[in-house]
């Protein structure tokens, strides 16, 4: 019997008690198991003052405390603690902006060797009405236009918080991530 591939879901959080339970409940672990994946969930608690960590633990996630404030610091902490046998990494925000049910679709291009990195988008397809204000949508569209134009990158949401990577990509990127705050 072939080895199950390991998928690690990394969720950086700061005061996400209203969304983290919904996010964790929506991760399609049974579907992923059917597809041959063992799933591990890491919630990186970035000094939350609310019940984010408690809710995440109650929902079965492994909670990692990162004292250095900022999403970039939380992401680096999660990446540093990926298990050696992880094949794929998915990252999404803990505010329930993204649909975790889409994880199988996000990792399919990795699994088929079509790509090494997949960037999720809130600007293509349907978006939850609460996910982004009109001004943020306009700013995101502008930044996306600039990236597409100057870097010739096929990206539709430059401010996304929904990604999938093959683990070797994370291994090669990690030494170059220098963020000490929110930026990545």
- What pLDDT digit, counting tens, does each position of 39-51 carry? 999 999 999 999 9
pLDDT beyond 80 at 75:
yes
Question: Do 90 and 153 belong together in one domain?
Answer: no
In our burial notation (b when 16+ CB lie closer than 10 A, e otherwise), range 10-35 reads bbbbbbbbebbbebbeebbbeebeeb
Question: Do 146 and 104 belong together in one domain?
Answer: no
Question: Do 37 and 61 belong together in one domain?
Answer: yes
Q: How many domains does the chain have?
A: 2
Q: Mean per-residue pLDDT for 101-124?
A: 88
pLDDT beyond 90 at 144:
no
183 falls within a domain: no
φ/ψ of residue 111, rounded to 5: -60, -35
Domain of residue 152: give its range: 126-158
Residues ≥6 apart with Cβ < 8 Å to 76? 174, 177, 179
Residues ≥6 apart with Cβ < 8 Å to 165? 88, 89, 110, 116, 117, 118, 173
Whether the CB-CB separation of 86 and 6 falls below 8 Å is answered with yes
In this prediction, residue 85 has a pLDDT band, given cuts at 50, 70 and 90, of very high
60/122: higher pLDDT: 60
Cα(10)–Cα(31) distance, integer angstroms:
18
In this prediction, residue 133 has a pLDDT band, given cuts at 50, 70 and 90, of low
144 falls within a domain: yes
Whether the CB-CB separation of 77 and 91 falls below 8 Å is answered with no
Question: Do 136 and 89 belong together in one domain?
Answer: no
Q: What is the pLDDT of residues 152-173, one digit of tens each?
A: 666 666 667 789 999 999 999 9
Cα(137)–Cα(159) distance, integer angstroms:
10
Percentage of residues in the chain having pLDDT higher than 70: 76
Question: What's the pTM value of the predicted model, to 2 decimals?
Answer: 0.85
pLDDT beyond 60 at 129:
no
Cα(107)–Cα(144) distance, integer angstroms:
22
Question: Do 96 and 139 belong together in one domain?
Answer: no
Question: Do 68 and 149 belong together in one domain?
Answer: no
Question: Do 95 and 27 belong together in one domain?
Answer: yes
pLDDT beyond 70 at 108:
yes
Q: What is the DSSP letter of 61?
A: P
């Amino acid at each position: 019997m072939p080895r199950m591939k390991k998928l690690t879901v990394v969720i950086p959080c700061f005061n996400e008690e209203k969304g983290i339970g919904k996010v964790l409940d929506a991760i399609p672990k049974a579907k992923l198991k059917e597809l041959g994946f063992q799933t591990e969930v890491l919630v990186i608690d970035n000094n939350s003052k609310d019940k984010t960590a408690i809710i995440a633990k109650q929902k079965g996630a492994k909670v990692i405390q990162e004292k250095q404030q900022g999403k970039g610091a939380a992401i680096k902490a999660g990446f540093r603690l990926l298990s050696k046998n992880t094949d794929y990494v998915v990252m999404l925000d803990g505010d329930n902006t993204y649909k975790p049910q889409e994880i199988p679709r996000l990792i399919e291009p990795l699994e088929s060797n079509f790509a090494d990195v997949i960037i999720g988008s809130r600007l293509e397809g349907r978006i939850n009405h609460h996910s982004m204000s009109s001004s943020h949508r306009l700013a995101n569209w502008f930044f996306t236009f600039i990236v597409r134009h100057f870097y010739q990158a096929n990206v539709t949401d430059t401010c996304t918080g929904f990604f999938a990577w093959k683990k070797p990509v994370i291994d090669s990127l990690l030494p170059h991530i220098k963020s000490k705050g929110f930026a990545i």
